[in-house]
Amino acid sequence: MKSPIHWFRIRRLASAFTILTTLSAGILIGSVVAHGVHGQDKTVDTRDATPLRVPDPKILSTTFTQIAKEVGPAVVNINTETLPKEAATARRGGRGHAMPQPQAPEDGQGGDDDDNGGGDDSQGGPSGGMQDFLNRFFGGVPGQGGAQQDQERRALGSGFIVDGRGYIVTNNHVVDKADRIYVKLTTDPENDQGHRATVIGVDKDTDLAVIKIDVPGKTLPTVKLGNSDSAQVGDWVEAIGSPFDLSQTVTAGIISAKNRTIDQGVAGQFQHFIQTDAAINPGNSGGPLLNMAGEVVGVNTAIFTQSNGYMGIGFAMPSSTVVSVYNQLIGPDHKVIRGSIGISFQPTLPAAVAKMYGASNGVLISAVTPGGPADKAGLKPNDVIVSVDGAAVKGGNDLVENISPRHPGSTVSVGYMRNGQKMTATVGIADRLTTAAALQGTPETENGPNAPAPSASQSKLGLTVADLPSNAPSGFHGVVVQAVKAGSFADELNPAIGPGLIIESINRKPIHNKAEFDAIAATLKSGDDVVFEVAYPRGGRGTSLTGGTLP
């Protein structure tokens, strides 16, 4: 009789055999099924498939394409740097090196840019609500610099070349307060910062600026200027610029409106924009708006936005304004002079006021500049100006457009209503900067006609100096440095010059006072080597030398 163990072994072997048989059958069935799936067990014959190929280029040129090719090389990328002003006295200098203190003797005794308000003829009242939503482009691209005063700020914009010698039109807010301006051409290497630019002149009222670069031995490509007065609502336009630092970006749209005022304050008197739906974003500012003839009809200046980006409404300063401003900025004075009769006014005349004062239209005088042309001619607040040299004045824009182009020193015949009676007066024309400052009771702006001209030491060297104080340590002579302009020649020196140091000589010529310093500085010119001998009030009698070549 078989033992239980023997039977257990037989049953175990039988179970194993059954499992193996089942697995073998499954594998066999799987192989048969897989054999029926095409492409898994053999190479498929694809000789009947036609290979793809890149077709020959086709010229699908349009007017937009032609404009981009023709105008693109004359559109530039502008990058600016604004250095920390409050920290300028402790800056490390242009190349990151501090001025070394003289070594101690062996005995150990050594030491350690607002706009003018008021004026002609200035509109009263607050700015319009649209301005609250308007984003100017000066702030540049997110992440390209902080807003704090103690940090270096960078911004970007666009511009276009109007003269082959390097003259460029852009927006004032692109270069305003910038210490360094770099212009990058389309032919410059990708990693090249660009060409250092100089500001020729700015006009805050129209937010326009002219800058210049020097490219020796090369005539730069230029744009063609068009007549914005002939542009019509619905016309196709094209914008080229550097939104978000993406240079040579081209967008297209139409002219949505003309003569658009987006600021109801003083600035609005001189800013009558072309409105467009061509995509404009931060960085486009200063770039051209072009018609279908490839002519510049506007300078892209601002956008209406609630998202800090494109929302289909952009504004460009008309080329007719640009030409007038440019021609004055490149003139001897490098500024725009506008006529004024010395009043401020309400831009529109309410119906009730018109009835009360007997004028169906006109400009109601709010204030008169004391001693100004209108005051001398006998005009008074609450008079209503209705004509200038016989031309009807229906509102504030009519008055400004008639008066501002006139030259200071000329006269006009002003028709006005007073207490229902029509009267006339001959009124002189003055410089708007002067009348605006007088009306506000404030000094003229830094660009005003009476502003003191910067000394040679300030304009050429970037140094503000003064005579040594009476309590200066004995044995020293020269001038004491009061301030160093950020980004200037002196600021770029390595070692750097800082406030509180004493300059004892320039180019080995001893200095004893500010007059001598200014006289030597006045003789310096671009390309000259300039070497300073610098002493330290608390550093013993040791001196250090620093210098460079004037740009």
Domain 456-549 in the same topology as domain 339-440? yes
Catalytically annotated residue among 120, 122, 158, 173 = 173
Residue 114's contacts (CB-CB under 8 Å, 6 or more residues apart) are none
> Residues 6 or more apart from 439 whose CB is under 8 A from it?
118, 119, 122, 342, 344, 367, 369, 372
Residues of the chain with pLDDT under 50: 32, 37, 39, 86-119, 124-150, 442-452
Q: Hey, which CATH number is domain 339-440, 3.30.300.130, 3.30.70.360, 3.20.20.70, 2.30.42.10?
A: 2.30.42.10
Give Cα 81 distance to the centre of its chain.
11
pLDDT of amino acid 95: 37
* Residue entry with tokens 């001598």: 516
| φ and ψ of 381, to 5 deg | -55, 145
Topology of domain 122-329, per CATH? Thrombin, subunit H (2.40.10)
Cβ-based neighbours of 44, under 8 Å, separated by 6 or more: 38
pLDDT tens digits for range 253-279: 999 999 888 776 555 678 889 999 999
Count of C-beta atoms within a 10 Å radius of residue 276: 29
Cβ atoms 499, 479 nearer than 8 A: no
Q: Catalytic residue among 176, 179, 207, 491, which?
A: 207
- C-alpha angle 401-406-412 in degrees, rounded to nearest 5: 95
φ/ψ of residue 247, rounded to 5:
-65, 155
Q: What is the pLDDT of residue 84?
A: 67
CA 189/CA 247 separation, integer angstroms = 13
Q: Which of 242, 285, 344, 457 is catalytic?
A: 285
For residue 159, report the phi and psi dihedrals to the nearest 5 degrees.
-165, 175
Residue 173 falls in the annotated catalytic set: yes
Is the distance from CB of 463 to CB of 481 less than 8 angstroms?
yes
pLDDT tens digits along 53-72 = 998 888 777 899 999 999 99
d(CA 274, CA 257): 6
456-549: CATH number: 2.30.42.10
Sequence spans of domains, the chain: 122-329, 339-440, 456-549
Report the predicted TM-score, pTM, of the whole model to 2 decimal places.
Answer: 0.65
Q: Is 219 helix (H, G, I), strand (E, B) or coil?
A: coil
340 belongs to the catalytic site: no
- Please state the length of the chain: 551
Rounded distance between C-alpha atoms, residue 147 and residue 313, angstroms:
26
256 is catalytic: no
pLDDT value at residue 7? 53
Quick one: pLDDT at residue 81? 86
How far, in Å, CA of 436 to CA of 117, rounded? 6
Q: What are phi and psi of 291, to 5 degrees?
A: -85, 180
